[in-house]
Structure 1
């Protein structure tokens, strides 16, 4: 049995995996011990499987490489599911290994035993049962590569294990396997043979682009031949050529939107945070929509029935760079003129703003250091940042936007901080923070992990969106005020605590909070719940 487990671990190492999250348990001991004794992996032990899986997700997000999560049998397995769903929709590579009872014990009143075979099948790229007694037919390389190619995401390996579970120390021998070479993706590189129209809107969606597309996007922006805008999670928002486009889509009149309407929409990447852009493009549909995808991933968020252009982003952006010379700048100039109009209104409103979550986000983005890893929680912090992309000088911005849940945010950001040398700053709401307290139950947290909690006593979004704001039961059942503060939690987990409740205290404490070197820190910013509502009304916002 142990020999087979060691063989699997050797192949996982050959895939390039170096980080493993191990959840304590007895049935998974042969797997956990094999990872630990291999010496090629950095292993972390975390008790809460739900939090542990999100922590593995955070490491995988930052590393852009697969991470392993291992747990015992039974309900422990089900606790992994939320992070697996997020990994599936965000296309983050995870290798989920669950220990199981032998098949003849399933449904026989055996303890800690549920039906684990293909348990995640709706939200997993591939699922396997690894037979430790006869694994000759297990295609290690191709099975493991399912988490990386053609689409990244989670895979599940369920391992039934019979007692005795603990092998002798001399049985931990490993196979010396040549490192796997990455699989190449075959591109058609076919681009429609059509004359490009004069009104082109290029939109970069969420993805981990890093610096590889920056030169192409910089050229397109500076050319002013096209409008180039970028989602806050694309890493390309610093290269866009329209300021405050999210506000522009939201505040512009029907006539102005007709002017802003593109003839050709070109998208790459995945999910878009902006609701205002989503609604604009649904109502003012482009004549054509091309989606650039190297791996066949395509959605229809704007109900525009996009055409799939299967090629690398680099290939396409290089092509369009060489094919826009005859396009005039009038479309860009119209966008710029309208956006400048609303930019002035927005800045004036912020200058006169009360102390609310939106204005605090603006302050933080203007004053935070550029080289941090910024993690934004759902649902409001990431939306506020989306409106303020022009202010944001940080390139590494993350959010669990695949499923957009509030659960697991603290744990995911913790995973990022564990493998990064730079400060990792999480901006989260009070409900999201209290929901994932076990994300702090982590002995591997370093002094680079800093958490900003917006405490407006409940789910603030329900005070803003149309519908709940008119329900008399809203506060008790929808907003769900926790009536808690973070100070005792900070003390319990040995975090240094800061607090602010107005602009002066925020301004006085923020730099001190960011400059803490010898400890993790929590900065709780307290708001009056109605301040954000008043601010939105002042901006005449009817949606977020």
Structure 2
């Protein structure tokens, strides 16, 4: 019943982990031709793989697991789905009432297991084939799938107790009766939201934060319309489509982090700010906004406070598309302000290009990002891991019009589930893609290699792994210079040979020793399977190089305020 209703409501993917108590659910989804079923052994990996599928398709992905601790392994992915608004529907099998709270095996308290991280929870009553029960299940699943996508997309949890026997039974006429009850159902789609649009006049800036829209072309056309109506510069995070569609979107600024490190930033200070979605990764930008306390419109169709810089902000609860259509043209355009930003950005980009030319023979991590930006084919989906990779991506991925689709887990900003999410995205998209990650993020999700090596993964993924023997991001903290336990307790280098790890799963591996070889390997991506390109770097040297690179930059002929 659950599987039939989910299929009718537009669900096209389900990810199951093996177990006894979940047998009825697993069997039901296995019988639905319209739902692609993927078995994943480890529940944490399964949940992140499902998250990737939902991210790529925009539709709820179903997760099925057995009773006991199995569902608890979903929690990291549930948190990420909640924070980044990705639709997941968890169906967790459970023991019936009489087996709870009596030390029965594989039984824990699963009621509201995920707390406030789900959009909705329901403890499902025992299934049976009475007509009133069939109607109950129909409406229950309708409500659950709808809550996954509206009013704010996210995870939903249904806890489903089963009594033995668990094996499939013949439902007789009840199966046809239930199918007839589903005839009027249609796939759930989120409604378009509209709201009054504030006036944007005078000098300003648009901050385009991380975004993973399903319809990228519509998103960038809407951002273009806002930019044209305001003539404001767009400070575009590397995780925003704006930085990858610069022929469509005008006035894109990619080096704002470097520009705002200057001693005098008054010439770049606008009268007003439009923040589209979340703030970018840059701490420099966040500190600058916090200090300046500029009037800010935060454009976000969700229901939470999106102003992490605590500026003088007001929320505008609508989509970018609706906002762009309703926005009036700027009546007091300040061309000089936008030109000032564009000139400074060009100078900063030239500085980075010139100073990253001479990094061989040792490979600098930022140079790896520059090579990826230049070599990866147009339209390629790229997944960026959290920690140092996303920051190097922000600093060193220059703007362009190569139309790459950028994916990430920045809801909770964790490194968990990196590989599994990337695999799910590429499977959902059905095209070859790239994962840019560090060694710790990859090792944190090695169970994802079970998915990579399985026959159920039918897409392709090239992994570029920066192996700097530990957590490079911590090298930028004061503790790295002051604590004798830094290596063991913060950097945490792992004694793992990535070549041997890849061999254990029969995956292709290559150690990249220079940027020219990396460029050659990235210009043509395999269309099937998973390969690992390992780039070994020196995290301490690279941390020092970044710091000097940023400190030495100075804008020539800074404009007067």
The match for 2:349 among 343, 363, 375 is 343
Question: What SS is found at the alignment partner of 1:374?
Answer: strand
How many residues matched? 528
The match for 1:294 among 301, 318, 326 is 301
Say yes or no: does 1:313 pair with 2:320.
yes
Cα pair 2:60 2:148 within 8 Å, conserved? yes
Q: Which residue of 1 aligns with 2:500?
A: 488
Q: Which residue of 2 aligns with 1:64?
A: 58
Cα pair 1:458 1:481 within 8 Å, conserved? yes
Q: How does 1:423-434 map to 2 (within 5 A)?
A: 423-434=432-443
In 1, Cα distance between equivalents of 2:511 and 2:226: 43
| 1:498 positional shift | 1.2
Q: Which residue of 2 aligns with 1:3?
A: none
The alignment's C-alpha RMSD in Å is 2.3
Closer/same/farther in 2, CA of residues 37 and 278 from structure 1, 3 Å limit: same
In 1, Cα distance between equivalents of 2:126 and 2:267: 64
| 1:476 positional shift | 1.3
Cα pair 2:50 2:63 within 8 Å, conserved? yes
Q: Deviations over 1:211-230 (max 9, x none)?
A: 11222323454677211232
In 2, Cα distance between equivalents of 1:179 and 1:90: 27
Q: Deviations over 1:136-190 (max 9, x none)?
A: 6563223331110010000000001111111225569352423336466475622
| 1:504 positional shift | 4.4
Q: Deviations over 1:323-355 (max 9, x none)?
A: 125413111022123323323322222123352
Q: How does 1:106-505 map to 2 (within 5 A)?
A: 106-133=100-127, 135=133, 139-140=139-140, 141-169=142-170, 173=175, 175-176=179-180, 177=182, 178-180=184-186, 182=188, 185=191, 187=193, 189-192=195-198, 196-209=200-213, 210-221=216-227, 225-237=231-243, 238=245, 239=249, 241-253=251-263, 255=264, 257-270=265-278, 272-286=280-294, 288-320=295-327, 322-354=328-360, 355-391=363-399, 393-442=402-451, 443=454, 444-446=456-458, 448-505=460-517
Closer/same/farther in 2, CA of residues 318 and 51 from structure 1, 3 Å limit: same
Cα pair 1:224 1:241 within 8 Å, conserved? no
Cα pair 2:230 2:330 within 8 Å, conserved? no
In 1, Cα distance between equivalents of 2:378 and 2:95: 49
| 1:499 positional shift | 1.0
Question: What SS is found at the alignment partner of 1:390?
Answer: coil
My pick for the range that moved more, 432-441 or 273-282, is 273-282
Structure 1 residue runs without a partner (length 5+): 1-5
| 1:439 positional shift | 0.4
Q: Which residue of 1 aligns with 2:557?
A: none
Question: What SS is found at the alignment partner of 1:39?
Answer: coil
Q: Deviations over 1:479-503 (max 9, x none)?
A: 0011322111211212111111333
Q: Which residue of 2 aligns with 1:36?
A: 30
| 1:240 positional shift | 5.2
In 2, Cα distance between equivalents of 1:367 and 1:214: 23
In 1, Cα distance between equivalents of 2:530 and 2:192: 45
Structure 2 residue runs without a partner (length 5+): 553-561
Say yes or no: does 1:528 pair with 2:522.
no
| 1:472 positional shift | 2.2
